[in-house]
Structure 1
Amino acid sequence: MSVEEIFAFHAQEVGPVRFAEPFGGWVATRYPDVRRVLADHEVFSSDELRYSTQPIPHGANPLLRSLQATDPPGHHALRRIVSQVFTPRAVSALEPLITAKVHALLASAGPVFDLVGEVAHPLSVHTIAGLLGVRPARWPDFVRWTEAITSFFGRFTADEARRTAFHQALTELGAYFREEFERPAGIIATLMAAGLTEDELINFCTLLLINGHETTKTLLVNAVLCLASAPKPADVRPAVEEVLRYLPPTGGTDRFVTRPTALGGAELRPGQRVVAMITAANRDPAVFADPHTFDPDRTANPHLSFGHGIHFCLGAHLARSEVRAALTALLDRPWRIADLDTHRTPVGIDVRKVTLATGR
């Protein structure tokens, strides 16, 4: 699949709220509808285990009990504890280490290298693992566990091989973190001191592990895809925001209706799933001028790629910092995309390898 085909895949149509059988629920694509679904947690809950009326074969997934799937008041109490790790000041303190890691990775890469395997993945895993105090020898396990957990949902729960890998990953991941709790370091020590239970710790560490490194890795890869044929931006900050709008690392997110409500003219019932299509909302022509054009200097850019409301991404500052550091270093040298390796996944297109060739 080419870069142009990836862009075309994400150029979704914006229209009325509709019921989609493949999703087993309603799909919102207009910016105001998506923004409301993300913000109105009293009507559109993140708690699938509590509100979904459909079977949940992946119910053992710790992410379904983590911060992102918790409603107030429990959400507020938990977020107050964990947010201390991700304040702008805390992230700023990490920036020299992130920049040093970027330069070390690029220095060790040859004139032709895989952006995913040699830069994006090591950078994101190194940062998250460092926060958690995880030993480098276990980083490959993190990648394997992430793949097994995130690929087991929806119609893919009927796949016996995926089911086996999912439960094995949960067992291994839980056992690993329980070992780490015996000798806490990094933010694990901070969270244990705040009085989180063992289950709460495992749920949050899983959330940080999966969302933290996957989102950042994908955002950096997407930034390179977007900037490969674009003029060099004068400032990487608006360029990163435009990548978030144009080619977000997460295409959408689920919510569950808690009481009868209307959304975009559709009547929704309690327990129904609503898929908030962030990719489509970010291209809403009523909000974004020339929405299907990538403009690295775009200034008015209220994209929804990190969410909105109480579930706004806790690690947004960190993800932005990592990607800005990597892009700044990459843009200091000439490079081009020599090859792409992609495949379709349950949630879209996974770019498994991006071969970059440096030099004129």
Structure 2
Amino acid sequence: MTSTEVIFEFHERTAADGLREPVRFEHGAWFVHGHADVDRVLTEHATFSSDELRHSAEAVPHADNPLLRTMLALDPPEHHRQRKLVSRAFTPKAIAALKPRIAATARRLLDAAGPDGLDFIDGFAYPLPISTIAGLLGVDPGRQADFVRWAEAVTSFAGSFARDPSRRAEFEKAYDELTAYFRELFEVRRTAPRDDVLSTLVTAGGLTDDELVDFCALLLINGHETTKTLLVNALLCLDRYPWLRAAPVEGVVEEVLRFLPPSGGTDRFTTTATTIGGHAIGPGERVVAMIVSANRDPAVFADPHRFDHRRAAGAHLSFGHGIHFCLGAHLARWQAEIALSVLVERLPGRWLLPPESVGIRTTPVGVDVTALRLDWDG
């Protein structure tokens, strides 16, 4: 079985296993698979909290990770306070203004590739969203290598990995550099604001510098990592189903989100004793909402293992639901739609993904693509 086949098989098998056993305990957590139960976990924040530091019954070895202080990991009222302030700057108008930049960057990245192909992750899927986030925040896109390094060090500082002294040292160094970079920018924007999200947040007030740093870290890390994965998954689908290259790009992207979601699952922590699928769950337990399974629940999606770009949009849970619905959902969709349009428009002749070029890493909630090459000929 090739790496690409492993990816598609994982999603189908996980959903099928979840249908047979919708709630089960493994890897020290309750894994919830059905669409209705996953939606409940995502929306009932009073019972299923995002605040690991406050509600986890187990010790949190990665407690220093700044992502645990952002609105992504907070409950109301603190979540609502921060999201309201951030939303004032993160407007549809500000996001839409980035569309020409996204298209220009996508074309430039393809033009910079060699005559026979490119490393899709390092040469396209990483730099495109980093350029977009840089434009949104008004930061230097030339720091791409630093942004990637900081993001990888912060995201890898989680769970048992946080007990690794070398990973902790990398994390602390990366976060110190990230903090210093953004604090310097805050001072510059206070004296010379620009037309960007960072200037709006800094001059509007309401957020402390520590909260601003953590939000920038969240946007930088989640904003590019999730979109990178969406672009990779979209390319995998276009390679597997070549006729999609002639299909309306909006429908293709929406079905990619359902079929191969950028995040296979997300954690919550019970604030009190509750019941899911007939299983009694105590307070402080980790609950993993399996988006990969919910998106293929036959009770919601007809013929769920078939890629159908004509499905009605809106039922999948890839951007979450409830108070933590992804703030950057529109931006992620637009980047993927523009990127796929440019790829189909600009790539000469036949193109393919050599099976031996696809590197993967399997986790309990998905299969991460670590390497991917896109080849073509004229």
Map Cα deviations across residues 180-230 of structure 1 (whole Å, 9 max, x no partner): 212125322211122110111011111101000011111001000011131
User: Counterparts in 2 of 1:1-360, with a 5 A limit?
Assistant: 1-11=2-12, 12=14, 13-14=17-18, 15-20=21-26, 22=27, 24-111=28-115, 112-184=117-189, 186-195=196-205, 196-230=207-241, 231-232=243-244, 233-299=246-312, 302-332=315-345, 333=347, 334-339=350-355, 340-344=357-361, 348-359=366-377
**Paired letter, 1:209:** L
With 203-212 and 345-354 compared, the bigger mean Cα shift is at: 345-354
CA contact (8 A) 1:63 1:206 kept: yes
Structure 2 distance, partners of 1:222, 1:33, is 25
Map Cα deviations across residues 41-72 of structure 1 (whole Å, 9 max, x no partner): 11111111111111111111111010111111
With 137-146 and 235-244 compared, the bigger mean Cα shift is at: 137-146
Quote the offset at 1:125 in angstroms: 0.5
With 271-280 and 169-178 compared, the bigger mean Cα shift is at: 169-178
Q: Look up the SS of the partner of 1:286 in the other structure.
A: coil
CA contact (8 A) 2:255 2:309 kept: yes
CA contact (8 A) 1:344 1:350 kept: yes
CA contact (8 A) 1:253 1:276 kept: yes
**Paired letter, 2:278:** G
Q: Look up the SS of the partner of 2:288 in the other structure.
A: strand
Map Cα deviations across residues 276-310 of structure 1 (whole Å, 9 max, x no partner): 11111111111111112222332355110000011
CA contact (8 A) 2:33 2:291 kept: yes
**Paired letter, 2:38:** V
How many residue pairs get aligned? The number is 358
Quote the offset at 1:234 in angstroms: 2.2
TM (normalized to structure 1)? 0.94
**Paired letter, 2:226:** T
Structure 2 distance, partners of 1:17, 1:355, is 37
Structure 2 distance, partners of 1:177, 1:183, is 10
Map Cα deviations across residues 113-141 of structure 1 (whole Å, 9 max, x no partner): 11211111111100111222222332211
Quote the offset at 1:7 in angstroms: 0.9
**Paired letter, 1:338:** P
With 210-219 and 134-143 compared, the bigger mean Cα shift is at: 134-143
TM (normalized to structure 2)? 0.90
Gaps of 5+ in 1: none
**Paired letter, 1:41:** H
- Tell me how large the CA RMSD over aligned residues is: 1.7
**Paired letter, 2:152:** E
**Paired letter, 2:9:** A
Quote the offset at 1:345 in angstroms: 5.9
Quote the offset at 1:255 in angstroms: 0.6
Gaps of 5+ in 2: none
